Structure 1
Amino acid sequence: MAPYHRNIDDVLARINFPLYTVQMLTNRHVLVGGGGGSSKTGVANGFEIFELSHDGRKFHVEEVTRHETGPNVVMNCSVLLGEKRTYLVAGQESHCQLYNVISEFVTQENGDIENIGSDHRENTELRERKPKLKSNNNIKKRLKFVLTPSDSVQTDIDGPEPLCRVVRIHPNGKLMATGGTDGHITMWRFPSLQPLTKLKGHTKEIDDIDFSIFENYLITVAKDGHAILWDSVTGKEVKKLTWKQPEGSKYLYKRCRFGVIEGEKRSALYMLTNPTGLAKKQKSYLQQWLLEGSLKQVYEFDESISALAVRDDGRFIAVGTMFSGSVSIHTAFNLQRILNVVGAHSMFVTGLEFLPVLNQENYTVCSVAEAAVLSISVDNQVCIHTLPYRKTIPLWLAITILMFTLFMTFLFCSYINL
């Protein structure tokens, strides 16, 4: 059984609206989004950006930016970290909204903020002031972000309540895919948001989509029970993923993510699937698929699972559950659970995101954990869960034990005249 781990330090922040999406904006800045919808409940809609830090014992966050989106709840989002510009796209009702993310360094002293440098000052509301001679001990420098709305496109048009269910930017930054309640996948040129083609392989609401990093693949899952692998360049269907389900059961795919096979320039595919109808008492599964379309291995859960994340180096997978609000971390190569955070949230987990470990030359959060994953829920909480470094035997000790074992075996064999 995986180790149990739960303490109050897991809770990083409490937001005043339900949370549905989480993304790393930089190596140390996390963006969460959500809201209460367009009804007059008084619950806000929008984004919060926090800066992560570690004091040697535990993680802390400090709010950097809050951006409200009026009556439009943020249900999903995707971030593209460019060399010169960062983009954010967010599913808001039937539309997909593009934001330019502008960052700048500011100083802060006793709650006052000064702008100390930006390439986009015309877009910021920060007031510039002449620098004063102050003690460096009282001045704090940090990144500030401004989300500037740009283009908006309607991505779902069919049905009485159109909704952009999911949006994903290709890692190459040139394509974007959206899916909604109409069951269609729309491919867009990015960042111009010019429509390219519609992929019409599903008949019901889209639940999730993802692009592979190395191959030109797009994976889509929907409430029609199908998972389809597409060629994202040609728009052609490559294969429907099928597997032998337990007799008398029906399963629906819930989430899909590509990951990197550690040490190789190839992708692995991971899926979450839950039983439906009369099969609800059956197991749910974390699945690993080969890209030629065959199921490689599975890990069983006793309850429905709702959220999935893969670390950027491909070593670890995180899974969130529906009913217990638990979060678990698994090794990618064999899917075995190595950390289980029972009751991480009081309600179902809506999103997971690993702290990145690649491209960490700037602004990296240093901690004493082998892995750390953020989790969010409709309970309004942002939590973090850390995997301590697992104990291993030093190589010299392992060799010594092996040699001693061989020596004792030889003595025993000599004693019994073998």
Structure 2
Amino acid sequence: MAPPRKKTTLGFPVFAVTWTPSRHRVAIGGGGGPTKAGVKNAMILYDVDPNTLDVKPVTEQLFGKKDDGCMSIAVHPKEKAFIAGVNCPEEQMKAGQNENCRVFFLKNKVFTAKGAHKTLDSTDPFFHQKISRFTEDGKLLVTGNTDGKLSIWTWPDFKPAIPPIDHKGEIVDADFSPDGKQLVSVTANICYVTNVSNAKTLWSIEKPVMKKTIKSEFRASRFGVRASEGYLFLVINAKDRKRAFICKWQVKGWKLHRQKAIGSKPVTAFTISKTGELLAFGAADLSVNVISAKGLQTIYRIPNVHDFPLTALDFDPTGQILVSGSADGTVHVALVPPASGNLYIIPIILILLFITGLLTYLAMLEDDNGEL
């Protein structure tokens, strides 16, 4: 039986979904960009009711009609600070004045702008800041762009921690290790693990080929945390769009621990729970899927969640609620089963063992006494 779930129409394409450290509150970003009249560009904070799965807006930050949509959001783990990747109007981009990394603080349920920074050098409005993510201690922020530029910034002074790195290809994902000392970043063709202190490449893989013959592309990357710390998860799509895989690597020694085919359609979005026990992905077949981080077994699959493929998804801090978004203008909220499906079976087994033991004991009494 599928877990309780609910879909809500927001009215604008969704490109970013990020939970705040506060339980039951999620930031959602997106928009129609400068070309779609009447479709707002915004970052909106919602409360999520864990009982009804309703989403209720708390506050919103609207961007200009000539701005791009909000393409990425990072929420600081300790402060009420929000980073939004939003391109300025095209004329500002072409003039080299695109302060696309917007900083906001939340106070009294209102977003207040606290500055904007330039992380994107390109003057082409086609490019944008796709990735924004803090370290667990909140001292560093990574931004990754579709023009291939990867930057690491100190917080809160927003100074370069290392010189920018050119990946020479669209950065599709990036993530810090739990201690903040390493950064994994992927383009379609290459995966890098970088030493954050000196920008040196510690490990890399180029042009992945699965099952020895299936030419593939990287799609997502996450370091394991807490229950899965010490591992790196890589999502890989076949170029023929007929299969998707997940690979689990041991960080120590960079040895492949396990790999598994996880679908017959490409993965479009991927995340890991804050407990490190669960992985979730959205696929081009419009489904949402949750698998265990330990053994990569499927926990559950919900088909046809959105009308368009998922663009973003994220677990709440407890790992009990999963929210996904799509360019169809909807968000989907689902309660998440435990990491181990066996948890459902254990109580039944205990009851059966109790009944079996009781019947055996009663049978022994009958044999001893001839009657009960």
1:63 matched to 2:12? The reply is: no
Q: Structure 2: how far apart are the matches of 1:209 and 1:185? A: 9
* Matches of 1:15 and 1:401, distance apart in 2: 51
The one-letter code matched in structure 1 to 2:113 is P
Match of 1:377 in 2: 326
Separation (CA, whole Å) in 2 of partners of 1:382 and 1:154: 30
Query: Does the 8 Å CA contact 1:185/1:198 hold for their aligned counterparts?
Result: no
Q: How far 1:401 moved relative to its partner?
A: 9.0
CA distance in 2, matches of 1:352, 1:175: 22
Distance 1:350 1:298 in 2: 24
* Distance in 1, Cα, partners of 2:161 & 2:115: 16
Matches for 1:147-166 after TM superposition, within 5 Å: 147-158=111-122, 160-161=124-125, 162-166=127-131
Give, in angstroms, the shift of residue 179 of structure 1: 1.6
Match among 283, 287, 296 for residue 247 of structure 2: 287
2:336 counterpart SS class: strand
Amino acid at match of 1:211: F
Cα deviations by residue, 1:67-97 (Å, 9 ceiling, x for unpaired): 2111231001110132xx3111111125211
Of 19, 31, 41, the residue aligned with 1:35 is 31
User: RMSD of the alignment, in Å?
Assistant: 2.6
Alpha-carbon contact 1:33-1:76 (below 8 Å) kept: yes
1:296 aligns with 2:257: yes
> Which residues in structure 2 correspond to 1:210-359 (within 5 Å)?
210-214=175-179, 216-223=181-188, 225-241=189-205, 245-262=210-227, 266-276=229-239, 279-281=240-242, 283-291=243-251, 292-300=253-261, 301-322=263-284, 324-357=285-318
1:157-202 Cα shifts (integer Å, max 9, x gaps): 1363442221211112111111213322112111211123235362
8 Å Cα contact 1:47-1:66 kept in structure 2: yes
Alignment CA distance shift 1:228-1:326 (3 Å):
same
Distance 1:280 1:59, change over 3 A: closer
Q: CA offset at residue 306 of structure 1?
A: 0.9
The code of the aligned residue for 2:274 comes to D
Distance in 1 between residues matched to 2:355 and 2:230, nearest whole Å: 38
The verdict on how the C-alpha distance between 1:160 and 1:372 changes in structure 2, with shifts beyond 3 A counting, is closer
- Cα contact 2:180–2:196 (8 A) shared by 1: no
Residues 73, 240 of structure 1: alpha-carbon distance in 2 compared, 3 angstrom cutoff: same
Correspondence for 1:53: 49
CA distance in 1, matches of 2:181, 2:355: 48
Match of 2:335 in 1: 386
Tell me, yes or no, if the aligned pair for 1:32 and 1:49 is still in contact at 8 Å. yes
The structural deviation recorded for 1:298 is 2.3
The alpha-carbon distance between structure 1 residues 268 and 39, as it changes in their structure 2 partners (threshold 3 A), is: same
Number of equivalent positions: 337
Shift of 1:30: 1.1
2: CA distance, partners of 1:201 / 1:240: 15
Contact preservation (8 Å) 1:97, 1:151 = yes
Please state whether the residue corresponding to 2:161 is helix, strand or coil. strand
- Note if contact 2:77-2:137 (Cα within 8 Å) is conserved in structure 1: no
Per the TM alignment, residue 302 of structure 1 is displaced from its structure 2 partner at its CA by 0.5
* Offset at residue 339 of structure 1 (A): 0.6
Structure 1 residue identity aligned to 2:171: I
Q: Which residue of 2 aligns with 1:187?
A: 152
Name the structure 2 match of 1:79.
75
Contact 1:320-1:349 at 8 Å conserved across structures: yes
SS across alignment from 2:163: strand
- Matching residue's letter, 1:271: L
Structure 1 residue 40: Cα displacement:
4.5
Q: Structure 1 length normalisation: TM-score?
A: 0.74
Q: CA separation in 2, counterparts of 1:76 and 1:155?
A: 13
Say if 1:396 and 1:250 are closer, same or farther in 2 by CA, change over 3 A. closer
Aligned to 2:362: none
Segments of structure 1 that go 5 or more residues without pairing to the other structure are: 105-144, 359-370, 405-418
Contact 2:136-2:179 at 8 Å conserved across structures: no
Cα distance change, pair 383–355 in 1 and its aligned pair in 2 (3 A): same
CA distance in 2, matches of 1:241, 1:98: 34
Q: Which residue of 2 aligns with 1:115?
A: none
Relative to structure 1, the CA distance from residue 23 to residue 54 in structure 2 (aligned partners, 3 Å threshold; closer, same or farther) is: same
Unpaired segments ≥5 residues, structure 2:
88-97, 359-372
Q: Identity percentage over the alignment? A: 24
CA deviation after TM superposition for structure 1 residue 398, in Å: 7.3
User: Separation in 1 of the partners of 2:130 and 2:54?
Assistant: 31
